[in-house]
Structure 1
């Protein structure tokens, strides 16, 4: 039997898009919602403390919080390959900046988050789906089957 486990995470992040031709060229923030769905075999051993689970919800929470939520929450994301890098050089300026090697769009942010989560999951668990919701009606989705997984 195939089952999936899903958990949703909330965090606040600011970003700025270098060279963009709309409002998002200015620093602004969003209340992001990240949905993570994993799949794997059920533990079926009465001697195991995780019997009947694919992964303990609290273990999934620890993985996503430490690798995505904590680094991204209340952080300013800027493309470190552009003049926006100067924001890290402001004395007494922003205290939490992530220099990305990509334009910090929702699409690229989700690719980064998928990599951070996938590489930290237990071997028997696979990331199947991730969704990054930037606003109430705008989101990006990643599906394992569309990405060779």
Structure 2
């Protein structure tokens, strides 16, 4: 099994409804995002996936939510948790690179998205 990972970041504000604590107030994070692709076979050039294509798509997705209030994005239903941000990014990468959607027999697929709110707090979405 092979795995490649690319990184991007963005800054955004959010607040969490239905949360009892300081995170229910508007605040911001400098998010770091990792996109992991796994696969079983390399192409003729010896690569699982061209880093450039994955980095470009991940950075485009992160660019769309950079310097926004995530609560304004309908997908999050007013609760833009790190877990929901990870799913959002996963879905948008798959839209940009449909070949990475996990299906049986795939040679390479988008395996996981990690979203770090801080260096010590991470949520991960894994494609099942």
Same fold flag (TM > 0.5): yes
Residues 1-149 of structure 1: pairs in structure 2 closer than 5 A: 2-40=1-39, 41-44=41-44, 51-66=45-60, 68-78=61-71, 97-102=72-77, 103-123=79-99, 125-144=108-127, 147=128
Deviations along 1:44-89, one digit per CA (max 9) or x if unpaired, are 1xxxxxx2222211111111112x21111111111xxxxxxxxxxx
* Structure 1 position 122, deviation (Å): 4.8
Give ranges in structure 2 of 5+ residues lacking alignment. 100-106
Q: TM-score, normalised by structure 1?
A: 0.71
Alpha-carbon shift at residue 20 of structure 1 (Å): 2.2
State the alpha-carbon separation in 1 of the partners of residues 36 and 116 from structure 2: 14
**Structure of greater Rg:** 1
Q: C-alpha deviations, 1:90-147, integer Å up to 9, x for none?
A: xxxxxxx534342111111111111112333252631112211111211111223xx2
Distance in 2 (CA, whole Å) between partners of 1:42 and 1:58 is: 16
- Unaligned ranges ≥5, structure 1: 45-50, 79-96
CA contact (8 A) 2:87 2:113 kept: no
Displacement over 4 Å in runs of 4+: none
CA–CA distance in 1 between the matches of 2:85 and 2:53? 23
Deviates more, 1:18-27 or 1:126-135: 18-27
